[in-house]
Structure 1
């Protein structure tokens, strides 16, 4: 039987623009006939995997996601005496291991050919193999052979690849199925997106020259209590990490703590909208996982939003378990009532 770990988080953000659409406005979703703020799963996952907290906990086990892997190899070769033409040719061959190299040529940047069309997510072991091969080719002043261009690895997997997966269209044998699924976070209450009109003053402009502002602008923002749902297939995570129980537990602990503490980076300098989860529920069991988003299809409006949100999701979980006959162990904390603790939730998840 598969063991699933499910996390349900309620996190309150004041005025913020954590995740923008193509117009620069906060992303939204219509739910239950009302507009809610939204944070995409991609935004959440990137914030978590690139955070100092995650990196410090899992140093040496986090991958690189880039289209410039071949360019990095070419840079190493040119720094060690290989001319640009050969570095581009050999760097492009290395890039082809991870995806389709770009075909657009630019006189001002011939190294553009060493980049891939799509981002490739590679493990530290794969990145080290790329750098070692580039240095070897530069030292021996020769092109790579076919055997040397087998740079993808299935062992020593990066924890973020094990969690969030990877897809390599040109090398499907090295694809990794994601062990962690992250839903788009959404506000539990209706939100009206507002525009902040702002001005900037030119410090070197005298009032006698011009009393007006040096710059005018506006940016969208909103505030919400967000519900976030995360589902982890622990057995698949263990499999992706090649049976390393210690690394699996370390990864789970780092991911959960990061999800509780780390905010997306969008417009943080403008709004300082950093927040910890105010309430969290962790579930563990072999039953088919399910989100508890239905608790918030009817928007919660009013001053006691957090308390009502906790009551609704708790009641829905109890009803779900009763109706479907589910048996999931759980651990939770509630900051508002000083009940439980993050340490207890982390220990439960990793037990």
Structure 2
């Protein structure tokens, strides 16, 4: 039986008045859980800042780019290597490269206020966001330039169909391996995500509030006409404040399959833990400055299955010290689940601040996030090496 390595991340985080994640009316997203309304932040809203945080933790060439403008981006990579190449010809051949790989492209609408000829007739685009790694673009750019050196570049690209397909499948970026990729045109390019991110919800009941605001015209304010010196704009913005329970997991074995390398996988897991814990959605951030860090981060390595501990808060926290009560409930839930289903972690780490989270040390001694991430990296690397040894025997 192959050694499984599942990393669970449970977080308690208090955010002040804020609007992290809005719905189509501009109101903070919400959900009913345990029969009462809760604050909610969608998983997608937290995945985006997590990916952006990767840029400070990992090399740019190990990360992915998600865009419709794939031909334009590929042509730019080629032009950086060889600036003398005609831009229009590079973009046209770049589109041929993706088509040879089974990706459908079509001409987009001309861009508004287009000044250059390229903007008036932009390169063909995919009809959906295509998630590819930076190294894959570099390899495709090399192939494109080799084709340009032939008498018939278009035919040269068509002859490299198998190689293009191989590039699109191999050497996946870290964030592609973690979050997956779906390609409607050619399903053999699909990648199953190695991570799962839950919608964050408040551990207690939350009712939205509204802030009435005004904006004063600086020029009118100093005028002598007092009848015209009031607010130039008025409005309202909805917000809430909450202690959130956040959860994510990473299947290290699947991530290893996606990335093809143990060291890269262990490094990616450590980066994910750090980025997920320290990132925050930036909705209305200039209005609310809600830059907080978690009160508690519980990281567990399991060899059974992922375990979301949100059931600890099905009955909403009602006390005044929400972090204290939420921490105690989280610890109790962890122990009860493990006893009932034999899911006791192989090892755990606790990162915490404040006296209210002291109960979490019943699960593991408190360490810094940097220490925890480094320790998880070592454990993942060791366990994946063991799993490979089991397969070879």
Same fold (TM > 0.5): yes
TM-score of the pair, normalised by structure 1: 0.89
Aligned twin of 2:253: 235
Partner deviation per Cα, 1:277-313 (whole Å, 9 max, x = no partner): 1111111121122211111111113320000001111
Q: Secondary structure at the match of 1:50?
A: helix
CA distance in 2: counterparts of 1:249 and 1:83, whole angstroms = 40
Moved more, 22-31 or 122-131: 122-131
Aligned twin of 2:132: 122
**Does the aligned pair in 2 maintain the 1:99–1:120 contact within 8 Å?**
no
- 1:295–1:187 distance in 2 versus 1, CA, 3 Å: same
CA distance in 2: counterparts of 1:103 and 1:264, whole angstroms = 33
CA distance in 1: counterparts of 2:290 and 2:224, whole angstroms = 38
In terms of fraction of residues, the more helix-rich structure is 2
Alpha-carbon shift at residue 348 of structure 1 (Å): 3.8
Aligned twin of 1:283: 300
Q: After superposition, where does 1:122-271 map in structure 2 within 5 Å?
A: 122-133=132-143, 135=145, 142-143=153-154, 145-148=157-160, 150=164, 152-205=167-220, 206-209=222-225, 210-242=228-260, 244-271=261-288
- 1:30–1:279 distance in 2 versus 1, CA, 3 Å: same
- Please point out which of 297, 301, 315 is paired with 2:318: 301
- Please point out which of 321, 326, 345 is paired with 2:372: 345
Residue 2 (1) aligns with residue 4 (2): yes
**Does the aligned pair in 2 maintain the 1:74–1:114 contact within 8 Å?**
no
Aligned twin of 1:61: 62
Q: Please, which runs of 5 or more residues in structure 2 have no aligned partner?
A: 380-393
Moved more, 287-296 or 335-344: 335-344
TM-score of the pair, normalised by structure 2: 0.80
- 1:9–1:208 distance in 2 versus 1, CA, 3 Å: same
- 1:343–1:196 distance in 2 versus 1, CA, 3 Å: same
Q: Secondary structure at the match of 2:231?
A: coil
CA distance in 2: counterparts of 1:42 and 1:55, whole angstroms = 18
Query: Which is higher, the Rg of structure 1 or of structure 2?
Result: 2
CA distance in 1: counterparts of 2:26 and 2:145, whole angstroms = 43
Q: Secondary structure at the match of 1:207?
A: coil
Q: Please, which runs of 5 or more residues in structure 1 have no aligned partner?
A: none
- Please point out which of 28, 32, 35 is paired with 2:34: 32
Q: Secondary structure at the match of 2:277?
A: helix
**Does the aligned pair in 1 maintain the 2:39–2:206 contact within 8 Å?**
yes
Cα-Cα RMSD: 2.6
Alpha-carbon shift at residue 245 of structure 1 (Å): 2.4
Alpha-carbon shift at residue 50 of structure 1 (Å): 1.0
